[in-house]
Structures are given as C-alpha cells and as structure tokens.
Amino acid sequence: MGHSPYPVVLDACVLYPARLRDLLMHLGIVGLYQPKWSSRIHDEWCRNLLANRVDIKPDALRHTVQLMNTALPDANISGFESLIERLSLPDSDDRHVLATAIRAKAEVIVTLNQRDFPSEILASYHMEALHPDEFISDLFDLNHALALKAVRRQRQSLRHPPLAVKEFLEMLFKQGLPLTVRALEKYQYAI
C-alpha cells in the first residue's frame, strides 16, 4: 500500500453481526486499516448477542474474541478509562467508545449509530463516525486489490453453508451494505 493504514475503532454494533464482523476483520487483516476495539466494546457486543440469541454459548463468544485479539494483537486498546468522565455524548454509555478512539488516535469510528456520535463533537478530536457501508466502500476505493482479497477470503471461509458469489453479495446486501455490493458486483470473477 505504501503507507501505514490508519487506526479505526469498531463500535460494538458493527461487531455484533457475525458476517459484518468477519468482513471488517478480513479487511483489517489484509492491512487496509488498523481495527481497534477495547475489552469494554467486546463485552458490549457479546452481552447483547447472548441476550438475543439463546443458541449461542458464552464460551463460543469468548473463543471468537480470543481469535480476534490473536489475529490482530495491536487492536485491543486499554488505558482509556480515565478519559471517559470528561467526555460528553448524547448517550453517555457510548463515551467508552470515544475514549477508546482518542486513546487509539483513531480518525474514524465505524458505527451503525452515527447520531450517537455527533460530527461537531467528533470534529474536536479530528475524527468522524462512518456507517460500515460507507467505510468499506472507501476502503474499496483506496485499494481494490486488497479489498477484493479480503472479500474473497471471507467468502471462501464460509462453510456452513458455503455461498456462491451471488449468494454472498445478497448476504452483504442484507447486512446493510448496498454501496459495497454495488462496488463488488463489477468484480464477481475475483470474489
């Protein structure tokens, strides 16, 4: 790529859906950006998933978190706790995400809840909140080849059930990624 990828904090809401989480992980693993999170962010998405899905066991989620931290050992941010109290957001429960982003020196928070991270507040920290579709589309524009490599790896890793390219793109669309799907449709042969 020729430059160091920039740090990006992933909010719990984008780690909750498994397929979206997997895509964001694959994009980070190939080096398009530096995913960042905290143990508190992990606790939030895991707690919500366990509350909503009785078929998922806590041990399985602990294993997922361990795999994520192993795959990206520099992703887990700590030492942000002292920043939380002085921060102000519409939902005070989101202050830990902003504190993580400040500590990580992130320019972007990827979230489905952009209204909870007002641009006027984030601008004072030189960062912005992006919807995952916009963020992934930007990564695709930044480096088609690496983005396609990540997408191909994700599709090929799906085994239960395996998905044909068209089915995979439909799954991404259902995950709320229409811009990403539109960009990928031209490159189906490479997925």
- 96-155 pLDDT tens trace: 999 999 999 999 999 999 999 999 999 999 999 999 999 999 999 999 999 999 999 999
Domains and CATH numbers, the chain: 7-132 (3.40.50.1010), 137-190 (no CATH)
**pLDDT surpasses 60 at 2:** no
H/E run at residue 109: strand 108-110
The predicted pLDDT at position 1 comes to 40
Q: How confident is the model at residue 89 (pLDDT cuts 50, 70, 90)?
A: very high
The predicted pLDDT at position 184 comes to 95
- Asked whether 97 and 109 are in contact (CB, 8 A), the reply is yes
The predicted pLDDT at position 4 comes to 58
The average confidence (pLDDT) of the chain is: 94
